[in-house]
Amino acid sequence: MTADATTLQALPAALRAALGDAHVLTGTDAAAREQDWRQRWPGRALAVARPGSTEEVATVLRLAARHGASVVPQGGNTGLVGGGVPDDSGRQLVLSLGRMNRIREIDAANLTMTAEAGCVLQALQQAAAEQGLLFPLSLAAEGSCTIGGNLATNAGGTQVLRYGNARELCLGLEVVTAQGEVWSGLSGLRKDNTGYDLRDLFIGSEGTLGVITAATLKLHPQPVATLTALAACPDLPACVALLMRARARLGAGLTGFEVMNRLSLDLVRQHFPQLPQPLPGAPWTVLLELADGESEAHARGLFEGLMEAALDDGCCTDAVVAESLAQSQALWQLRESIPLAQAAAGANIKHDIALPVSRIPDFVAATDAALAAAFPGAALVNFGHLGDGNLHYNVQAPPGVSPREFLARHEPAVNTLVYDGVMAHGGSISAEHGIGRLKREELAERKSPVALGLMRAIKQALDPQGLLNPGRVL
Amino acid sequence: MTADATTLQALPAALRAALGDAHVLTGTDAAAREQDWRQRWPGRALAVARPGSTEEVATVLRLAARHGASVVPQGGNTGLVGGGVPDDSGRQLVLSLGRMNRIREIDAANLTMTAEAGCVLQALQQAAAEQGLLFPLSLAAEGSCTIGGNLATNAGGTQVLRYGNARELCLGLEVVTAQGEVWSGLSGLRKDNTGYDLRDLFIGSEGTLGVITAATLKLHPQPVATLTALAACPDLPACVALLMRARARLGAGLTGFEVMNRLSLDLVRQHFPQLPQPLPGAPWTVLLELADGESEAHARGLFEGLMEAALDDGCCTDAVVAESLAQSQALWQLRESIPLAQAAAGANIKHDIALPVSRIPDFVAATDAALAAAFPGAALVNFGHLGDGNLHYNVQAPPGVSPREFLARHEPAVNTLVYDGVMAHGGSISAEHGIGRLKREELAERKSPVALGLMRAIKQALDPQGLLNPGRVL
C-alpha cells in the first residue's frame, strides 16, 4: 500500500495491525453489519472493527481520528431508528462491541453486576437468575440486543413501571471518549455526589458522545410469585382510573400495565387464531402484572381485591386472573403478538410516543378524530405501556387501500398530525426508541432551540471533530 | 451614580431598576444570606437579588454577565459544603430563589407535581399529602431547605433505599442558563428519549451550570401503614446479611435501613437520657422501616417473619417492632439525635461517604484499625444509611483531648486516611452532601483526570465566562 499512512483508505490496514486480521471485516464479510435488521438503512462501511478489550476500543478511536474516519458504534444491531449502521458513503467505520461480552463481576451482597457492552441482554438476565437475583430490563429484542446498545439508547420495555428505564438500572459506566481516552466510571454506589453526572449524559446519547464499553448494573431480589391478569375496560379514562387504583393498592408490586385497543386484539385474532382471547370484544383490554414477595396465594388475593373494587366502580367490566404460569404466558403472548399481527396485515405508520398519563385520553380522542377526518377509513392500532405513558400509536391504511401506497402518499402528513397532537399534550415524539437518523429532522424542528443549543454545545465540547456517529440525534 | 453603567458597582442599581428596591438587598439586610448556617464560610456579597419569576431570574443573570459579576444561587441556605454562600470578595451576587415558591400544578392522575425552586421541601410533602399522595424526599433540613437546592445538590436522606435520591424523583426541569436563556424542560414524562439528558446534567451540578427555577417531581401513592423495628446485630457483616434478608423478604416495602454503632447510641444516652433505648449495649443497632400497601397487621406479620428468621440464623440477637406510631417516632428520634449528641460532645471530623454495601465491613474494619494505630484513643461515631451504602463516619478526639485542638492538629491527616480507605474500597468521598468549596481540592486530587477533563469541558461549553458559582465543584 502506497497511500499516505494517515489517509482514510489506510485505516483498515492500520486496524488489522492493531486488532489482528480476523477482527477487521471488509467487503462481504462486513455486509451483515452494514444495514439494520428491518433493511431500512442499507449502508456501506469502510470496515467493521471488532475490538476485544477496552484498550482496543481506545486504539480504534485514536486510529479513526488520525485517519479522519467517523465511527458508528454498534451493539446487537436491533435498533429501530438507524442509529447503529453506517451511511452509504463507504467512509464510516463500524465499531462492533460484540466481542466484549464478559460479565466481569456479580456482587450479590451489593446487588450489582458489571458487564461489558457486548453482553446480550438475555445472558445478563440469566446470569442474575443463576444467583437468585433479577436484572429486570426486558424487551422484545432481548435475545440479540446488547447492554451497550440498551444503555446508549436508554431502552425501555415491559418492566419500566416498577424498575425504570435502562438509565435507572445503571450505576456506573466505562466509556471511551472521542479522543480515545478511557473514563473508568464503573461504580457500585447508590449515592455519589462528586461532580457532574457523566453517566447519565452518555446514557441515551446514542453513541454520539462516547463509546460505552462496560456498565455496573443494579440487580433486584427475585419476586416469589408473578401473576398476570386481564381486564376489559369501557374506554381509556377507565383504563387510567384502573391504573391509579392498581398503583395505590399494589404499590411497587405492580410491574406491568399494558393497554390494547380493540383493533390490536382483532388483528391478533385474525393472524393468530390459535391464541385464546379470554375477554373478546372489549373496547380496551388491560394486561396487569403483579410481582409478589410473599406467595402466589397472596398475589392472587391482592389481584382479586383490586378487580372486585374496579368492577364495582366501573373501571372495568370483566376481568380474569391467570390460573397458571402457562396462562400468564398466554396473556403476555397476546400483547406481544400485536406487532407481528400488524406486520402480517401490511406496512403501517408507527409512532413510539409518550404523554403524561393524565392526558392520554384527551390526546387519543383528539388525534383519533383528526386522523379520521383527514384520512377517512384509516385504522388506529393503539397499544402500549400505559403505566409509563408510552403508546405505540400506529396508523394503518383504510381497508382496500394498499398499505405501501398509503404510506408513500401520507406518511409525512400523518406524522405531522400525530406529533402536533403529542406536542400539544406535553408529550415526547420518541418514548423509548430514540432519535437516530429516523427522527433527527423531526427533533430539530420540535425541540426547543435552547435545548438544542445546549445539546450542540455539549457535543462540540466532547467530540469537537464530530467523529462519533455524526448525523445521528443532532 | 456616575460609574460606567456596566461596572460591577453599578449592578445593584441596575438590579433595583429591574426587580424593585425591595428585592435587592445590600449591607446588613444581606447579612443572613452571606454565610452558611454553621458559620463555616463567612462571606460578603455585592448584593442579594430576589427575583420573583423565571423571567426575572433570566434578567438577573443577563445583568450579572453584563456587569461582570459572578452569581451564587441560593435556596434555603442549609448546605454543608459552602456551595450556596458568596466568598468574601464582596464581588459576588447572591441569587436567592426564595420568592419563587409557588406550586404550579399537582397532576394526581399522572402522579406528578410541578413546583418552583424556592418551595420549602416540607411544603411539598404537605401539598402531596393533601392529595393523598407521597413526595418521599425526606431529610433533616426539610423544614427550611428548598427543592431547588435539593436538586442542585442531588439530596439524599432517609428514603433513598426505596425511592432514590432527588435525581430519581425528578422528571423535568426549568433552568436559566448562564446566558440568561430559559430552558423549559418541565415534563411529566416517564419515558422520553429525545436527545441528551440535560435534566440529570443540571441535577447535582451545584449551581455551576445553570440555575434551576422549577421542577416536575414524581409522586407516589401513600402507604397504608408504616412500621419501624430495631434489631441488635453482633457485627457489621451481620448487618449486611440482615439487609440482604430484608430486601429479599420485604422487596420495595423496605423504605429505611439505618445502622448505628454502639458509640453513636451511647452518646445519645449520655446527652438525651430521656430517650428510651430498647436494645442497649448492642455492638450495632439497625433501624428498619417498612411501608405497606395493605394494613398495619400485614406489615407486622412481615416484620415478625423477617426478625424470626434473622434471629434463627444469627443476623441479629434481639429485635423489637414498634407497637404504635409514637414508638416508631421514638425509634427514629434515636437515629436523628446522633448528630445532635455528637455536637454536644464537641467538634468532630465528619465524613459523608458511600461504598458498595458488600465492601462496608472490610472498609470499616481496615479504617477503624488504621485510625486506632495512627490516633490512639480517637473514637468512631459511625452511623448512616446502610441500605444505600452511605455512612456518616465521624472521628472524635480521644477522651481528655480538646476536640478543637485535635481537629486543628489532625483533621487533614484523618481525612487523608479515611478517604484513602474509601478510594481503595471503590467508594465516594461525598455520598449526599456534594462538593461545594469544602471538598473541591479533595475532588481535584482524587477524581480521575479523564472525568475532571470531561467536567471542565462541559463547564466551559455551558458557562464560558465562568459566571455561575465559580470555585465550587471544579
HEC assignment per residue over A397-459? CCCCCCHHHHHHHHHHHHHHHHHHHHHHCCCECCCCCCCCCCCHHHHHHHCCHHHHHHHHHHH
pLDDT tens-place string over residues A61-77: 999 999 999 999 999 99
The answer to whether the CB of A41 falls within 8 A of the CB of A469 is: no
| pLDDT band (50, 70, 90) for residue B35 | very high
Q: How far is A164 from chain B (nearest CA, A)?
A: 8
pLDDT tens-place string over residues A260-308: 999 999 999 999 999 999 999 999 999 999 999 999 999 999 999 999 9
pLDDT at B4: 66
Q: Is the pLDDT of residue A2 over 90?
A: no
Q: Is the pLDDT of residue A186 over 60?
A: yes
| pLDDT band (50, 70, 90) for residue A219 | very high
Helices and strands (H and E) in chain A: how many = 15, 19
CATH of domain B5-96: 3.30.43.10
Phi, psi torsion values for B411, nearest 5 degrees:
-55, -50
Q: Is the pLDDT of residue A5 over 60?
A: yes
Say if the Cβ atoms of A428 and B457 lie within 8 Å: no
Question: Would you call B460 helix, strand, or coil by DSSP?
Answer: helix
Fill in the DSSP letter of residue B43.
Answer: -
- CA A124 – CA A137 distance, rounded (Å): 9
The answer to whether the CB of A296 falls within 8 A of the CB of A211 is: no
- Best mutation target among A191, A226, A294 (most B Cβ atoms within 10 Å) is A191
Residues of chain A contacting B184 with CB distance shorter than 8 Å: 448, 450
Q: Kindly identify which residue of chain A lies nearest to residue B247, measuring between CA atoms.
A: A221
Question: Would you call B110 helix, strand, or coil by DSSP?
Answer: helix
All three cell numbers of A146, joined, read: 446488547
Fill in the DSSP letter of residue B223.
Answer: P
Q: Is the pLDDT of residue A4 over 70?
A: no
**Partner residue opposite A451 with nearest CB, options B190, B198, B291:** B198
**Partner residue opposite B354 with nearest CB, options A192, A204, A221:** A192
Third-level CATH fold of A225-339: Alpha-Beta Plaits (3.30.70)
Taking residue A352's Cβ as centre, other Cβ atoms within 10 Å add up to 24
All three cell numbers of B354, joined, read: 458511600
**Partner residue opposite A428 with nearest CB, options B177, B192, B354:** B192
CATH of domain A346-431: 3.30.70.2740
Say if the Cβ atoms of B428 and A240 lie within 8 Å: no
Phi/psi-derived region of residue B24, left when phi > 0, alpha when psi is between -120 and 50, beta in every other case: beta
Total length of chain A: 474
Say if the Cβ atoms of B197 and A200 lie within 8 Å: yes
ipTM above 0.90, yes or no: yes
Same fold, A5-96 and A103-221: no
The number of CA neighbours under 13 Å toward the Cβ of A416 is 6
**Helix, strand, coil tally for chain A in percent (to 5):** 40, 20, 35
- CA A127 – CA B177 distance, rounded (Å): 44
Q: Is the pLDDT of residue A6 over 90?
A: no
Q: How many contacts (CB atoms, under 8 Å) link A and B? A: 275
Which position has the grid cell 406535553? A426
Residues of chain A contacting B433 with CB distance shorter than 8 Å: 193
Q: How far is A26 from chain B (nearest CA, A)?
A: 32
Ranges of each domain in chain A: 5-96, 103-221, 225-339, 346-431
Say if the Cβ atoms of A240 and B109 lie within 8 Å: yes
| pLDDT band (50, 70, 90) for residue B238 | very high
Q: How far is B437 from chain A (nearest CA, A)?
A: 12
Q: Among candidates B8, B6, B24, which has minimal Cα distance to B16?
A: B24
Say if the Cβ atoms of A450 and B110 lie within 8 Å: no
pLDDT > 70 in chain A, percent: 99
pLDDT > 90 in chain A, percent: 96
Phi/psi-derived region of residue B314, left when phi > 0, alpha when psi is between -120 and 50, beta in every other case: left
Q: Kindly identify which residue of chain A lies nearest to residue B255, measuring between CA atoms.
A: A252
- CA B50 – CA A441 distance, rounded (Å): 40
Q: Where are the alpha helices (DSSP H) in B131-257?
A: 147-152, 160-163, 198-202, 236-250
Say if the Cβ atoms of A193 and B428 lie within 8 Å: yes
**Partner residue opposite A252 with nearest CB, options B177, B183, B251:** B251
Q: Among candidates A88, A98, A102, A91, which has minimal Cα distance to A10?
A: A91
- CA A412 – CA A395 distance, rounded (Å): 12
- CA A423 – CA A421 distance, rounded (Å): 5
All three cell numbers of A282, joined, read: 372489549
Total length of chain B: 474
Q: Among candidates A151, A129, A127, A128, which has minimal Cα distance to A139?
A: A151
pLDDT at A346: 87
pLDDT tens-place string over residues B397-425: 999 999 999 999 999 999 999 999 999 99
Say if the Cβ atoms of B390 and A191 lie within 8 Å: yes
**Partner residue opposite B204 with nearest CB, options A110, A197, A432:** A197
All three cell numbers of A24, joined, read: 477487521
Q: Is the pLDDT of residue A1 over 60?
A: no
pLDDT tens-place string over residues B270-305: 999 999 999 999 999 999 999 999 999 999 999 999
Q: Is the pLDDT of residue A32 over 60?
A: yes
Is the Cα dihedral B304, B306, B310, B313 positive or negative? positive
Q: How far is B223 from chain A (nearest CA, A)?
A: 8
Q: Is the pLDDT of residue B2 over 50?
A: no
3-state secondary structure B112-150: EEEEECCCEHHHHHHHHHHCCEECCCCCCCCCCCEHHHH
Where do the DSSP E strands lie in B251-378? 254-261, 284-292, 318-321, 348-349, 352-354
Residues of chain A contacting B80 with CB distance shorter than 8 Å: none
> Across all residues in chain A, what is the average pLDDT?
96
Say if the Cβ atoms of B168 and A168 lie within 8 Å: yes
**Partner residue opposite B426 with nearest CB, options A188, A198, A357:** A188
Q: How far is A461 from chain B (nearest CA, A)?
A: 6
**Range A302-310 contact pairs with CB under 8 angstroms and sequence separation of 24 or more:** A302/A249, A302/A250, A302/A253, A302/B294, A303/A227, A303/A229, A305/A249, A306/A245, A306/A246, A306/A249, A306/A250, A307/A229, A307/A231, A309/A245, A309/A249, A310/A231, A310/A242, A310/A245
The number of CA neighbours under 13 Å toward the Cβ of B286 is 29
| pLDDT band (50, 70, 90) for residue B258 | very high
pLDDT tens-place string over residues B438-448: 999 999 999 99
Residues of chain B contacting A293 with CB distance shorter than 8 Å: 248-251, 253
Say if the Cβ atoms of A435 and B188 lie within 8 Å: no
Phi, psi torsion values for A22, nearest 5 degrees:
-65, -15
Where do the DSSP E strands lie in B262-315? 284-292
The answer to whether the CB of B30 falls within 8 A of the CB of B48 is: yes
- CA A121 – CA A196 distance, rounded (Å): 28
What residue type is A226 in one-letter code? T
Q: Is the pLDDT of residue A350 over 90?
A: yes
- CA A435 – CA A371 distance, rounded (Å): 24
pTM above 0.95, yes or no: yes
**Partner residue opposite A193 with nearest CB, options B191, B293, B434:** B434
Write down the architecture of domain A103-221 according to CATH. Answer: 2-Layer Sandwich (3.30)
Q: Among candidates A219, A291, A279, which has minimal Cα distance to A255?
A: A291
| Across B58-69, average pLDDT | 97
Q: Among candidates A233, A240, A243, A227, which has minimal Cα distance to A327?
A: A227
Helices and strands (H and E) in chain B: how many = 15, 19
pLDDT at B1: 43
Say if the Cβ atoms of B248 and A160 lie within 8 Å: no
**Partner residue opposite A191 with nearest CB, options B249, B431, B462:** B431
Say if the Cβ atoms of B196 and A191 lie within 8 Å: no
- CA A308 – CA A252 distance, rounded (Å): 20
pLDDT tens-place string over residues A80-114: 999 999 999 999 999 999 999 999 999 999 999 99
Say if the Cβ atoms of A205 and B198 lie within 8 Å: no
pLDDT tens-place string over residues A448-462: 999 999 999 999 999
Q: How far is B433 from chain A (nearest CA, A)?
A: 7
**Partner residue opposite A461 with nearest CB, options B160, B187, B458:** B458
